[in-house]
Structure formats: structure tokens, C-alpha cells
């Protein structure tokens, strides 16, 4: 057994030799069976001639079909078909030789058809049988190794069977499938290579205890996000590791490799059902157009650029002030070799003159405005930057879009603009108010105009500075994981999903709408932290501690997608709605925003924030140094 454990793959010459021995055995047994083991009836010359010819044509058939090149321990139905083909070719070769010998050369039969048929059947049987025996022997050895990890596979379909085969046959993978789980009631109770199939998740706790299972592999290719979450949550509660077989299009050369089975990520627990988009309308909207994306190097901006480029616009202009991030994005886009022209521009939306030159030169027809400062504590510390970028920068870009006859301007906003409790949220709400009132003012002219559309959504998974990469880094360092408050919740959406909805909403918009996205159910951040710790293989409060640091300045306990006074209107897309917000007069908001220019010269954070509260009455600071301004308002 020790010798066999060291063997990984039998050399081809060994397989060819074994096949030759089987052929020899088969032809001899064929003669014996044909003559009922009565040796006296044997014609020695015919026997020798028949054996030699059967072995020679058999070897030629092996070379033609390359049947000896298969890995015996990975024998499959395909190998059986190749062996059948090899025996079939051997039969045809000998039949041809028989006909030539008997009819053309008048030398009699080389081998009788009865012996040929018997020998061919025996050879095929034993060629397949010995391969299966060796395969099972290797599987038995692996099954009884002490360091093999017992695992369960969820999904008894083709991917699950393939995974089982990999675990059983690859010496480097020290895992063994002890059971299958499947939601198909027709499969329950059956077996796959000795492993029983159980219905659903009900039996998983018992299986874990019985076999000391340490890992579950999710192999179902088309599994709903909700079911995936249920499976992973059950694994976390039982303390077992969870992994996922990726979609077939991610397999290497169409084959699943052992290292291709990936770890479960927190995104798997937070992801939702795939979006049904009207891609034809999006393509029609973008095809052949010149599209500018501000903040192109950011999390949302870079994904927008990549998605937009695949709809074959004439040109995509990537505008950002971050040099390194913009350069990296440029390299990524160049590597895609898309037919769309990619233009990389280092620029700042706060600088009106430089942005004016860009729009005059490139004449974009559609602008996706993703440039913004978005970190709540940072903007609470530097309100003047939020005013310059989020408010005045947006105004610059929007005004220039009008003067340069841009067809559509899609602004990326945030749920933090709803009942804002911080500077960042208030600055985005003021930007929303401006572009919406500008659209209203243009609509009244009746002339061809720029259509302004706003999209509003919550946190995106994996975005720069979001809680998930922060938690990952803290877990890698051994903790503690810091959560601001035990009850804090947030909505989450993947970056690709958010950008897909932005593009769809951009197509829908006729101007003046604020689109809000269905963000699903809010997630408790402390639960998110616990799950991330468990997914890393650690135990909460034993290996990694969770500490509550207190709400940061301006931070909310709960995010909102709508103001209490707002209502929504449904659209043809179930995940996109239109918020019915109160409109403001254009001249009024222009005057209020222009006032910021004078206030910036005073170098007073309090004056800036106080003015923001005047524009956005629902802006009530939370855990902020500016909270006293709300008390002053109450006294008045």
C-alpha cells in the first residue's frame, strides 16, 4: 500500500504493457472457449497465427486510438468509449485481413470469426475492468488515509460529480466526499460513487457529526442568492468551512481544477439575484456616442467605464484628478483591446476653466457624474472640500454640460442625501437640488436641452474606504474588528449591480427624476463582522474580538433611501423607482449656492455648515461638532 500511495500516474508504457497482456489473455481464452477447453482439437499453427495477428493488430489499434495515454486512476466513460473504439478497429482490421487471406490469397482464415468475437468481448471487458479496479484501489487508499478531510458537496449534478472525481483522484487534494446534498427530491436516497445523496440541508448537522465533516462545497451552477445565503449561514452556524465551484465560464480550458474551487466571500452572503436589464435599450442609448465619466478612477466610476465601453460608444472619456488610480484604469482598459476609443484626462471638476476646455474639445453627448468626496468622517473634518467638490464642482460640470449641448447628464448620488446627518450627505442633497432645478428651468424653455437625471443608492460592496475591506484588513492583522455601534445597519449592493442600474436609469430618464434603487434588506454591521470572522476560519471573541468604537461624527444608525415626505413611483424595472421629491426654484438655489463662494473666503467651517442647514432644513447633525447649530435653530 505504501508503494501505491507514492504512485500518482502510471507511465504510459506500463499501461500499454498491461493492455498487451490483456489482449494476449483474451485471444488465448477465446480459443479455449471456442473449442470447449478440448486441447486435442487445437491446430497449433492456427493458434499461433491467430494469437500473433490479434496482438499485432491490437497494438496497431492502440496506437491509432492512443488508448494507453489515459490516466488510469481518472478512468471515465470517455475512456470506456476509447477502448471500445480500439477493440472495434482491431476487429475491423482482422476482418479485413481475414477476407484478403481467404478470398484473394487463398490461404484460409487467419482467425475464425467465432474466436475473434469471443476474444474481442473478453478484451474489452478486462481492459475496462482492470482500469476500474486500479481507480477504486487508489480511491480506497485515499479514503483510508488519516489526513484526508471529509467533505460534503451541495449539488449532485454534473459539477458536483466532477468535484467528487477531482477529490477522489488527485493525490495532492486531501479531501473525500462523504455525502451529497441536493434540493431535487428525485435524487434523495440515491448514491454517487458510494456517497449518499440527502435532501436539502436538514440532515447536514447529523452528517457533520457522524463523519466529522469540515467543509461543504457548493457545486450548483444556477443557485439563487437567497439559497446560497441559507447554505453558507448553516455552514457558519455549524462551524464548517464553505467553498464554491465557480461558473463553468471561469473554468480553465473548460476544465475544473482543484485550485479553481474558491473560498466563500462576504459578497456571496450579501449578493442578490441577478438583474434583468434591457441591454438593447442601453446599447441603443450608448452606441456610437461620446461618453464622459467624471470620477472615472473611483470604485463606481471605473466600473461604469468598463460597462459603458462594452456597449461600443465611439469614445469614452475618463476624467479624474487621482493620477495613480487613473493610470491604473488606463492600463486595464488598454489591455481589453476594445474597439471603443479610450481617452484619459487628468482633471478636476472644481476647476471650471479646465473642465470647459475639455467639454469644448471633446463634445460629450452623455455625462456620468461620479466624481465626489464620499467619506463621512473626512468631510465632517473638511466641510470646505465637500462644498468645493460635491456642490460647486457639480454645478461647474452641470452648467458646462448645458452650454456644450450635452444630451444627458446622469448624476450619482447617495442614500446619505436623505435626511442628512452629516456634511457629505447634505452636500450631495444640495447637488441633487441644483441639477433637478436646472432641469426644471431648461424644461420651461421648450428648446432642445440637456436632460438631468439623478440616481441614488446605498453602500457598494468593496468600494474604496467601505467597511468590508476595513474588516478584512483588521482580521488579517488579528483584530480587533471595530464596529461603531451594536445596532448600526447599512444597505449593500455590488458595484457591478449598482452600475448596471445607473445605466438602466440613465436610459429611462426624461429629465428631472431622482431614481432610487431597491437595496434589499438592511444588514446589521456587527452581524457582518461576525460572519467575516467566521469565513476567515476564526472564532469570534476567541481568535478575533469585536470592539464598539462609538458612532463617528455625522454617522447615522440607519440609512434611508427616502425622506419621510417623499413617495416613490414605480417604473417598468422592479428594482428602480422614482422619488417624488419637493422641487426648489432654480434662481433661489443658484443664489444659495453662489453664497458658498463668499463663505469659503471667511475660512469658517461653522458658517459653511450653517448655510448648508439653511438650504437643507432636514439636515440634523448626528454625533458631530456641528450639532450645536441645530440647537441654535431650535431656540430661534
Which string of DSSP letters, residue by residue, matches 95-143?
A: HHHHHIIIIIS----SS-HHHHHHHHHHHHHHHHHHHHHHHHHHHHHHH
Distance CA 80, CA 417 (A): 65
User: What's the maximum distance between 2 C-alpha atoms anywhere in the chain?
Assistant: 125
Q: Are residues 384 and 486 in the same domain?
A: yes
Least confident of 201-215, 265-279, 509-523: 265-279
Q: Which of 228, 315, 408, 416 is catalytic?
A: 416
**pLDDT of 52:** 83
Q: Are residues 151 and 133 in the same domain?
A: no
Residue 9: band (very low, low, confident or very high) from pLDDT cuts 50, 70, 90: low
CA distances from 526 to 394, 474, 522, 545 (A): 35, 14, 12, 11
CA distances from 166 to 140, 153, 162, 257, 501 (A): 14, 12, 6, 8, 39
The pLDDT of 563-582, averaged and rounded, is: 76
Least confident of 235-239, 447-451, 564-568: 564-568
Residue 143: band (very low, low, confident or very high) from pLDDT cuts 50, 70, 90: low
CA distances from 383 to 74, 388, 425, 625 (A): 65, 9, 11, 12
Give every CB contact of residue 238 below 8 A, 6+ residues apart in sequence.
204, 205, 208
**Within a domain: 579:** yes
The pLDDT of 352-375, averaged and rounded, is: 95
Q: Are residues 252 and 309 in the same domain?
A: no
Q: Is the pLDDT of residue 402 over 70?
A: yes
**pLDDT of 172:** 62
Which helix (H) or strand (E) covers residue 268, if one does?
helix 266-270
**pLDDT of 316:** 96
Task: Give which of 260, 242, 259 is closest to 250, Cα–Cα.
Answer: 260
**pLDDT of 441:** 92
Q: How deeply is 147 buried, as exposed, middle or buried, from its count of CB atoms within 10 A (0-12, 13-18, 19+)?
A: exposed
Residue 260: band (very low, low, confident or very high) from pLDDT cuts 50, 70, 90: low
Q: Are residues 389 and 430 in the same domain?
A: yes
Residue 483's DSSP bridge partners are: 548
416 a catalytic residue: yes
Distance CA 501, CA 448 (A): 26
Helices 113-143, 77-99: crossing angle, 10 deg rounding: 160
Least confident of 246-250, 527-531, 557-561, 628-632: 246-250
Q: Are residues 608 and 489 in the same domain?
A: yes
**pLDDT of 173:** 63
Given phi > 0 = left and psi -120 to 50 = alpha, else beta, which region is 570? beta
Least confident of 253-257, 277-281, 570-574: 253-257
Identify the domain containing residue 259 by its residue range. Answer: 147-264
Backbone angles phi, psi at 112, to 5 degrees: -70, 150
Last residue of a domain, one of 213, 239, 264: 264
Q: Is the pLDDT of residue 619 over 70?
A: yes
Q: What percent of the chain has pLDDT over 90?
A: 33
CA distances from 628 to 556, 609, 631 (A): 17, 11, 5
Q: Are residues 444 and 513 in the same domain?
A: yes
Residue 549: band (very low, low, confident or very high) from pLDDT cuts 50, 70, 90: confident
Least confident of 40-54, 281-295, 352-366, 588-602: 40-54
**Within a domain: 625:** no
The more confidently predicted of residues 222 and 529 is: 529
Cα–chain-centroid distance for residue 189? 32
Coil, helix or strand at residue 32: helix
Q: Indicate the DSSP class of residue 618.
A: T
The pLDDT of 313-324, averaged and rounded, is: 95
**pLDDT of 330:** 95
**Within a domain: 329:** yes
Residue 576: band (very low, low, confident or very high) from pLDDT cuts 50, 70, 90: confident
CA distances from 313 to 284, 287, 338, 433, 440 (A): 10, 4, 10, 30, 28
Q: Are residues 301 and 389 in the same domain?
A: yes
Coil, helix or strand at residue 163: helix
**Within a domain: 74:** yes
Q: Is the pLDDT of residue 71 over 70?
A: no
- Dump the DSSP string for 560-615: -SS-TT-EEEE-SSTTEEEEEPPP--HHHHHHHHHHHHHHHHHT-HHHHHHHHHHH
Q: Is the pLDDT of residue 593 over 90?
A: yes
**Within a domain: 361:** yes
Q: Are residues 570 and 437 in the same domain?
A: yes
**Within a domain: 335:** yes
Q: How many structural domains compose the chain? A: 3
**Within a domain: 44:** yes
Last residue of a domain, one of 124, 141, 158: 141
Last residue of a domain, one of 141, 162, 194: 141
Q: Is the pLDDT of residue 513 over 80?
A: yes
The pLDDT of 513-518, averaged and rounded, is: 86
Distance CA 261, CA 247 (A): 10
**pLDDT of 635:** 43
- Identify whether the C-beta of residue 523 lies closer than 8 Å to the C-beta of residue 492: yes
Residue 278: band (very low, low, confident or very high) from pLDDT cuts 50, 70, 90: low
CA distances from 71 to 126, 140, 391, 443 (A): 17, 17, 66, 72
**pLDDT of 5:** 45
Q: Are residues 210 and 315 in the same domain?
A: no
Measure the CA angle with vertex 258, ends 253 and 260; round to 5°.
60
Residue 292: band (very low, low, confident or very high) from pLDDT cuts 50, 70, 90: very high
**pLDDT of 1:** 45
Q: Is the pLDDT of residue 447 over 60?
A: yes
Q: Indicate the DSSP class of residue 418.
A: S
The CATH number that applies at residue 233 is 3.40.50.720
Residue 386: band (very low, low, confident or very high) from pLDDT cuts 50, 70, 90: very high
Distance CA 407, CA 366 (A): 6
Q: Are residues 104 and 162 in the same domain?
A: no
**pLDDT of 49:** 78
**Within a domain: 271:** no
Q: Is the pLDDT of residue 636 over 50?
A: no
Q: Is the pLDDT of residue 367 over 80?
A: yes
Q: Is the pLDDT of residue 145 over 60?
A: no
The pLDDT of 271-291, averaged and rounded, is: 79
* Residue 516, number of CB atoms within 10 A of its CB: 26
The pLDDT of 22-50, averaged and rounded, is: 73
- Identify whether the C-beta of residue 437 lies closer than 8 Å to the C-beta of residue 431: no
Q: What percent of the chain has pLDDT over 70?
A: 86
**pLDDT of 73:** 56
Q: Are residues 593 and 479 in the same domain?
A: yes
Measure the CA angle with vertex 322, ends 316 and 324; round to 5°.
95
**pLDDT of 454:** 94
**pLDDT of 327:** 96
**Mean pLDDT, all residues of the chain:** 83
Q: Are residues 54 and 37 in the same domain?
A: yes
Please give the span between the terminal C-alpha atoms of the chain, in angstroms, as a whole number: 90
The pLDDT of 352-357, averaged and rounded, is: 96
The pLDDT of 1-25, averaged and rounded, is: 67
Amino acid at each position: 500500500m505504501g508503494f501505491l500511495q507514492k504512485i500518482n500516474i502510471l507511465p504510459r508504457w506500463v499501461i500499454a504493457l498491461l493492455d498487451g497482456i490483456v489482449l494476449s489473455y483474451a485471444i488465448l481464452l477465446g480459443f479455449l472457449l471456442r473449442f470447449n477447453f478440448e486441447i486435442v482439437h487445437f491446430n497449433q499453427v492456427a493458434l499461433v497465427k491467430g494469437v500473433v495477428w490479434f496482438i499485432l493488430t491490437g497494438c496497431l489499434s492502440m496506437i491509432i486510438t492512443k488508448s494507453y495515454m489515459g490516466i488510469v486512476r481518472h478512468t471515465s466513460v470517455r475512456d470506456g468509449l476509447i477502448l471500445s473504439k480500439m477493440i472495434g478497429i482491431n476487429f475491423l482490421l482482422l476482418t479485413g485481413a481475414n477476407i484478403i487471406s481467404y478470398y484473394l490469397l487463398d490461404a484460409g482464415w487467419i482467425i475464425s470469426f467465432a474466436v475473434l468475437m469471443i476474444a474481442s468481448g473478453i478484451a474489452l471487458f478486462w481492459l475496462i475492468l482492470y482500469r476500474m479496479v486500479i481507480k477504486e484501489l487508489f480511491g480506497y487508499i485515499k479514503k483510508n488515509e488519516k489526513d484526508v478531510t471529509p467533505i460534503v458537496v451541495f449539488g449532485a449534478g454534473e459539477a458536483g460529480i466532477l468535484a467528487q472525481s477531482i477529490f477522489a483522484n488527485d493525490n495532492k487534494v486531501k479531501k473525500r466526499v462523504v455525502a451529497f446534498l441536493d434540493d431535487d427530491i428525485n435524487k434523495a436516497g440515491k448514491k454517487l460513487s458510494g456517497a449518499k445523496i440527502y435532501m436539502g440541508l436538514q440532515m447536514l448537522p447529523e452528517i457533520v457529526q457522524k463523519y466529522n465533516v469540515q467543509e461543504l462545497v457548493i457545486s450548483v451552477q444556477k443557485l439563487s442568492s437567497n439559497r446560497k445565503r441559507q447554505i453558507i449561514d448553516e455552514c457558519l452556524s455549524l462551524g464548517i468551512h464553505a467553498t464554491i465551484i465557480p461558473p463553468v465560464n471561469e473554468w480553465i480550458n473548460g476544465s475544473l481544477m482543484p485550485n479553481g474551487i474558491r473560498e466563500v466571500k462576504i459578497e456571496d452572503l450579501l449578493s442578490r439575484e441577478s438583474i434583468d436589464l434591457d441591454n438593447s435599450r442601453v446599447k441603443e442609448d450608448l452606441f456610437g456616442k461620446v461618453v464622459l465619466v467624471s470620477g472615472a478612477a473611483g470604485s463606481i466610476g471605473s466600473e461604469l467605464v468598463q460597462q459603458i465601453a462594452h456597449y461600443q460608444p465611439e469614445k469614452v472619456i475618463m476624467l479624474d484628478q487621482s493620477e495613480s488610480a487613473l493610470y491604473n484604469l488606463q492600463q486595464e482598459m488598454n489591455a481589453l483591446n476594445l474597439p471603443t476609443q479610450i481617452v484619459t484626462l487628468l482633471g478636476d471638476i472644481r476647476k471650471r476653466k479646465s473642465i470647459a476646455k475639455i467639454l469644448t474639445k471633446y463634445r460629450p453627448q452623455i455625462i456620468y457624474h461620479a466624481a465626489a468626496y464620499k467619506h463621512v468622517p473626512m468631510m465632517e473634518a473638511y466641510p470646505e472640500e465637500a462644498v468645493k467638490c460635491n456642490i460647486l464642482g457639480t454645478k461647474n460640470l452641470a452648467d458646462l454640460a448645458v452650454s456644450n449641448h450635452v444630451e444627458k447628464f446622469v448624476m450619482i448620488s447617495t442614500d446619505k442625501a436623505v435626511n442628512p446627518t452629516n456634511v457629505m450627505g447634505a452636500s450631495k442633497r444640495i447637488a441633487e437640488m441644483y441639477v433637478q432645478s436646472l432641469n426644471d428651468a431648461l424644461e420651461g424653455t421648450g428648446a432642445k436641452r440637456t436632460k438631468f437625471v439623478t440616481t441614488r443608492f446605498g453602500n457598494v460592496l468593496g468600494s474604496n474606504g467601505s467597511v468590508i475591506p476595513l474588516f478584512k484588513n483588521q482580521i488579517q492583522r488579528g483584530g480587533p474588528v471595530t464596529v461603531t455601534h451594536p445596532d448600526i445597519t447599512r444597505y449593500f449592493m455590488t458595484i457591478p449591480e449598482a452600475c448596471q442600474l445607473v445605466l438602466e436609469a440613465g436610459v429611462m430618464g426624461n429629465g428631472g427624476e431622482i431614481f432610487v434603487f431597491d437595496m434589499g434588506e438592511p444588514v446589521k454591521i456587527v452581524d457582518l463582522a461576525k460572519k467575516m470572522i467566521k469565513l476567515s476560519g476564526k472564532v469570534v471573541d476567541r481568535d478575533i474580538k469585536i470592539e464598539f468604537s462609538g458612532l463617528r461624527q455625522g454617522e447615522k444608525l440607519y440609512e434611508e433611501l427616502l425622506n419621510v415626505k417623499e413617495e416613490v413611483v414605480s417604473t417598468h424595472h422592479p428594482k428602480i423607482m422614482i422619488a417624488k421629491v419637493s422641487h426648489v426654484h432654480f434662481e433661489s438655489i443658484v443664489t444659495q449656492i453662489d453664497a458658498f463662494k463668499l463663505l469659503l473666503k471667511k475660512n469658517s467651517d461653522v458658517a459653511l455648515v450653517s448655510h448648508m442647514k439653511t438650504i437643507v432644513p432636514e439636515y440634523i447633525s448626528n454625533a458631530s461638532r456641528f450639532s450645536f447649530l441645530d440647537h441654535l435653530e431650535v431656540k430661534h
